[in-house]
Amino acid sequence: MDYTNYIIEKLKKLTAINSPSGFTKEVSEHVVNTLTEMGYSPVLTTKGGVICDLGGKDESSALLMTAHVDTLGGMVKEIKSNGRLRISPIGGLQAQNTEAENCTIVGRFGGTFSGTLQMDSASVHVNKEYSTQDRTFDTMEIVIDEDVKSKEDTQKLGINVGDYVCFDPKTTITPNGYIKSRFLDDKLSVAILLGYAKYLKDEKIIPDRKVYIHITVYEEVGHGGASSIPNCVTEILGVDMGCVGDYLECDEKKVSICAKDSHGPSNYEVTTALIKTAKDNNIDYAVDVYPFYGSDADVALNAGHDIKHCLIGPGVYASHGYERSHKLGVKNTFELIKDYIN
């Protein structure tokens, strides 16, 4: 059975749930419910992530696969005198590619409000410096879709400093298989791991070694994979986005195997085994070195865990922007996980 369509449907549900780092309760509960319906017994960590034992015979060399469901976003840092909002980015959100994007402001004690991130003076017919003005979060504002003219007007709505701002994902699947959305990093890989969990149940497969998945919720701010790793785990496989860009071999239709990222090289034996698995099973893959990248696998090692590690994922173009992958990249990543564990 091809699980790609199931994975795409799970992706749509995941991207429809707002979940910037620190605001992930709803999406974590969705993951828990999905795994529970399959027949697993997932556990919510204290931090808010999800750990799930997928089964397996040998507990002496368990594998943990990690993917993160938290995303980029914003937080209100100032209510301006005109009633509009300045935001502070959460994770690597970029002002340049969120201009004119729709968003939702979530009141801490109730109420959600739509808005748009715009330049401070957003009309070309008024602002002659529009084309040359710097795009930063200090020169841009959230225009709320409410009749507000002052700071007090906005506060009366229930909007305050510290409230989350969630940007629309704009998830689109094209007829020829391209997947376009914000937050494919890393909800696409979360969906892939859910697809793998379903595969094990459907086919009544018990892996030779114990396998866990860990869906983390603070990866975008640097500490998602630092904790909650079972003691029997000896290997961690980060399942995150594969980089696509200049000087890299990967594209959206391949699974990327990361030999080295900005933290250092992946474990040589694990990387070699993954490459051999891809070769032996005719999986379309690329091996790359990522210049500006860190994953939950790195965080786990930095936290002191004595484990082997590597990073894989479907090729994703325009990372931390309006991202693009392809169904074939999903399929190749799923197949690599399945065949590597088998």
Q: Give the pLDDT score at 340.
A: 98
pLDDT in tens, 266-290: 999 999 999 999 999 999 999 999 9
4-71+183-341: CATH number: 3.40.630.10
Q: What is the pTM of this model?
A: 0.97
- The C-alpha atoms of residue 198 and residue 30 are separated, in whole angstroms, by 15
Is 141 an annotated catalytic residue?
no
**At 27, is the pLDDT very low, low, confident or very high (cuts 50, 70, 90)?**
very high
pLDDT in tens, 161-182: 999 999 999 999 999 999 999 9
Q: Give the pLDDT score at 148.
A: 97
**At 122, is the pLDDT very low, low, confident or very high (cuts 50, 70, 90)?**
confident
Strands annotated E in 145-282: 164-167, 172-173, 178-181, 209-216, 233-239, 242-243, 255-261, 264-265
DSSP state of 219: G
Q: Which is catalytic among the residues 219, 235, 252, 335?
A: 219
Q: Give the pLDDT score at 111.
A: 95
Sign of CA dihedral 134, 137, 138, 141: positive
- The C-alpha atoms of residue 188 and residue 132 are separated, in whole angstroms, by 35
**194 pLDDT above the threshold of 90:** yes
- The C-alpha atoms of residue 316 and residue 290 are separated, in whole angstroms, by 13
pLDDT in tens, 97-120: 999 999 999 999 999 999 999 999
DSSP calls for 38-67:
HT---EE-TTS-EEEEEE-SEEEEEEEEEE
Higher-scoring residue by pLDDT: 2, 240 = 240
CB 332 within 8 A of CB 255: yes
- The C-alpha atoms of residue 197 and residue 205 are separated, in whole angstroms, by 10
pLDDT in tens, 35-77: 999 999 999 999 999 999 999 999 999 999 999 999 999 999 9
The mean per-residue pLDDT over the stretch 226-230 comes to: 95
On average, the pLDDT of the chain sits at 97
Strands annotated E in 22-129: 43-44, 50-55, 58-68, 73-79, 85-90, 102-106, 112-119
Q: Give the pLDDT score at 267.
A: 98
Q: Give the pLDDT score at 150.
A: 98
Q: Above pLDDT 90, what percent of the chain?
A: 97
**253 pLDDT above the threshold of 90:** yes
Of the options 2.40.30.40, 3.40.50.720, 2.60.120.10, 2.60.40.10, the CATH number for the domain spanning 73-167: 2.40.30.40
The half-sphere exposure of 172 on its side-chain side, counting CA atoms within 13 A, is 9
CB 9 within 8 A of CB 173: no
- The C-alpha atoms of residue 39 and residue 94 are separated, in whole angstroms, by 40
Q: Give the pLDDT score at 1.
A: 79
- The C-alpha atoms of residue 160 and residue 295 are separated, in whole angstroms, by 32
**342 pLDDT above the threshold of 90:** no
**2 pLDDT above the threshold of 90:** no
**14 pLDDT above the threshold of 90:** yes
> What is the location of CATH 3.40.630.10 in the chain?
4-71+183-341
Higher-scoring residue by pLDDT: 327, 2 = 327
Q: Give the pLDDT score at 202.
A: 97
